[in-house]
Structure 1
Amino acid sequence: MWLYLAALLALYFLRRWHRERQMVGNLPDKHVFITGCDSGFGHLLAKQLDGRGLRVLAACLTEQGAERLQQTTSGRLQTVILDVTCSDSIAAATAWVKEQVGDRGLWGLVNNAGIATPTAPSEWLSKADFVRVLDVNLVGPIEVTLSLLPLVHRARGRVVNMASVLGRVSGMGGGYCPAKYGVEAFSDSLRRELHYFGVKVSIIEPGAFETSLVSPQSLQQSLEQVWSRVPADVREAYGQQYFDHYQKVMQRFFRSASHNLRLVTNAMEHALTARHPRTRYSCGWDAKLFYLPVSYLPASWADFLLTRSMPKPAQGI
């Protein structure tokens, strides 16, 4: 019996390996639109796809970011300025993309733009702190997708959305985790709706990766700014010792982050160029070996594992 089960398992992985090696053709004729290309994953992915011969349409938040990207890529790559929190900016970028792709449509849309801070215990934050992150990480990608979806339809193309393992297990306060949970839900419903039109939707779920926007330095600065405006009664309830310990825990989390951004961009590239892309791509050993298994545990077990290294508030029970 065990021999039969082992044989079936081997056949399953062999079939999966064979399917995932099958690539789509005519890459030089395909346009891919990527948001958040100033730095980090988006910047690297734009260069990576340009090297594969695809026609990359790279959206950057700043002129400086666009210039840096153009200096290291071929003449095929085109840039546009895009603020995903601004409807007028999205409309202008959509019109520009239509001009670029013409009747061929848009093969790939990669919703990569995002921010990670402010991240802190929720009681320290304001509604504006949550809204800022949700606008960039969730509402913006939804509006970009809805605006460009007719072009993706035309090409029977791909939508690749940047989520996170923290969209499966909420490990910190603030708007980041709710936004990533929202990206997961939006992507799931979109995938099922577009399946009948030949459009494929993939979700990227990285673990901890250090970029210019997510670093120990940026996190420390953000935490100090948040703590400085926390109301006096809340500061007293938590205590300075809690803040100092919390800061160390978060610093330790990000210091252990991977610097190999290609683990993520390779997953994005596969989602765009494979004939049979995955529904979800988990990137990083912390995602595969800790966060994803924890997401399947009973809530009490997950709570213990995620809080055992956290400090206790001064006035906690």
Structure 2
Amino acid sequence: MGQEASIFRDPQGAKRLLVSSQCLWGLINNAGILGVLAPTDWLTVEHFREPFEVNLFGLINVTLNMLPLVKKAQGRIINVSSIGGRLAISGGGYTPSKYAVEGFNDSLRRDMKEFGVKVSCIEPGLFKTGLSDPVKATEKKMAVWNQLSSDIKQQYGDGYIEKSLAKKAKNKLFQNLDLSLVVKCMDHALTSLFPQTHYIAGVDAKTFWIPLSHMPAILQDFLLQKHKVKLADPKAV
């Protein structure tokens, strides 16, 4: 995300690089961070603010600065969301930020339709990338755990953090390794005569996450709860 994140900090600078052409055919908003993935009662508002700044406000900032050029070209805008924008899998700021991206994407698509600008959203499943680096994710989660009060630690249990990290390690088996699945969606959204409004990338997204997102909440809760570590004493509040 490094190069695009720098554009998020200075979208006007990127705009100056394009001014000679007076138009821009395609904009792909792909930068993103996970932040801390942990139970909600472990976190502060700052833990939520960080992913929102990049995943949502950075995306909006770049889009608004580039929008006049895209409108002149009657071009394309592609926003990369996530299955986390369709289904809340874990606590933290990542999922709420991606839900917000989905909302911004839909309103932008409808607003730009009369200008001939096509807007698409890509919803990747779990892919093995730097974003999902297990070492960094573990370090962040452990740092938060170490700062928790003794009361919250008692509610979750001394072995909770180790068990949750072990479960996360098992989930790596379900990560997609072929990043071209996402790139092909980007290519189609940019170059096809009739781009789709939403693209789903990844075997896990197509066969499990997206179908689950259409199911009743009671079934979603049951299936997702089965994969969580049981609390030691949830009533010790």
Match of 1:4 in 2: none
After TM superposition, give the deviation of residue 223 of structure 1 in Å.
1.4
User: What do residues 248-287 of structure 1 show as CA deviations (whole Å, max 9, x unaligned)?
Assistant: 2222223421111111111111100111111111011110
User: What do residues 226-262 of structure 1 show as CA deviations (whole Å, max 9, x unaligned)?
Assistant: 2122222212221222222221222222342111111
Match of 1:194 in 2: 112
After TM superposition, give the deviation of residue 165 of structure 1 in Å.
0.9
Separation in structure 2 between the aligned mates of residue 211 and residue 93 of structure 1, nearest angstrom: 25
**1:153 pairs with 66, 71, 74, which one?**
71
Question: What SS does the corresponding residue of 2:129 show, helix, strand or coil?
Answer: coil
Q: Which amino acid aligns with 1:272?
A: L
Question: What SS does the corresponding residue of 1:240 show, helix, strand or coil?
Answer: coil
**2:15 pairs with 94, 103, 106, which one?**
94
What percent of counterpart residues are identical?
40
Question: What SS does the corresponding residue of 2:194 show, helix, strand or coil?
Answer: coil
**2:176 pairs with 249, 258, 262, which one?**
258
Separation in structure 1 between the aligned mates of residue 132 and residue 19 of structure 2, nearest angstrom: 33
Q: Which amino acid aligns with 1:271?
A: A
Match of 1:219 in 2: 137
Separation in structure 1 between the aligned mates of residue 18 and residue 149 of structure 2, nearest angstrom: 46
After TM superposition, give the deviation of residue 83 of structure 1 in Å.
4.9
Separation in structure 2 between the aligned mates of residue 140 and residue 106 of structure 1, nearest angstrom: 19
**1:243 pairs with 161, 167, 170, which one?**
161
Matched, 1:271 2:192: no
Higher relative contact order (CA 8 A, sep 6+): 2
Match of 1:28 in 2: none
Question: What SS does the corresponding residue of 2:132 show, helix, strand or coil?
Answer: coil
Q: Does the CA-based 8 Å contact 1:216-1:255 persist in structure 2?
A: no
Separation in structure 1 between the aligned mates of residue 222 and residue 60 of structure 2, nearest angstrom: 34
User: Structure 2 length as normaliser, TM-score?
Assistant: 0.94
Structure 2 stretches lacking a partner, 5+ long: none
Match of 1:315 in 2: 233
Q: Which has the larger radius of gyration?
A: 1
Separation in structure 2 between the aligned mates of residue 149 and residue 304 of structure 1, nearest angstrom: 42
Alignment of 1:265-304 (within 5 A): 265-304=183-222
Q: Which amino acid aligns with 1:93?
A: A
After TM superposition, give the deviation of residue 60 of structure 1 in Å.
4.3
Q: Does the CA-based 8 Å contact 1:245-1:310 persist in structure 2?
A: no
Question: What SS does the corresponding residue of 1:297 show, helix, strand or coil?
Answer: coil
Structure 1 stretches lacking a partner, 5+ long: 1-35, 39-58, 62-81
- How many residue pairs are counted as aligned between the two chains? 235
Separation in structure 1 between the aligned mates of residue 56 and residue 173 of structure 2, nearest angstrom: 26
Q: Does the CA-based 8 Å contact 2:35-2:50 persist in structure 1?
A: no
Query: Which segment is superposed worse, 242-251 or 200-209?
Result: 242-251
CA RMSD of aligned residues (A): 1.5
User: What do residues 150-181 of structure 1 show as CA deviations (whole Å, max 9, x unaligned)?
Assistant: 00000000000010111111000001000110
Match of 2:47 in 1: 129
Separation in structure 1 between the aligned mates of residue 75 and residue 132 of structure 2, nearest angstrom: 30
Q: Does the CA-based 8 Å contact 2:176-2:203 persist in structure 1?
A: no
After TM superposition, give the deviation of residue 91 of structure 1 in Å.
2.3
Question: What SS does the corresponding residue of 2:131 show, helix, strand or coil?
Answer: coil
User: What do residues 178-217 of structure 1 show as CA deviations (whole Å, max 9, x unaligned)?
Assistant: 0110111100111111111110000000000011231222
User: What do residues 37-91 of structure 1 show as CA deviations (whole Å, max 9, x unaligned)?
Assistant: x4xxxxxxxxxxxxxxxxxxxx445xxxxxxxxxxxxxxxxxxxx252x3xx222
Q: Does the CA-based 8 Å contact 2:7-2:14 persist in structure 1?
A: no
Separation in structure 2 between the aligned mates of residue 180 and residue 303 of structure 1, nearest angstrom: 19
Q: Does the CA-based 8 Å contact 1:119-1:172 persist in structure 2?
A: yes
Q: Which amino acid aligns with 1:213?
A: L
List structure 1 runs of 4+ shifted beyond 4 angstroms: none
Match of 2:126 in 1: 208
After TM superposition, give the deviation of residue 93 of structure 1 in Å.
2.2
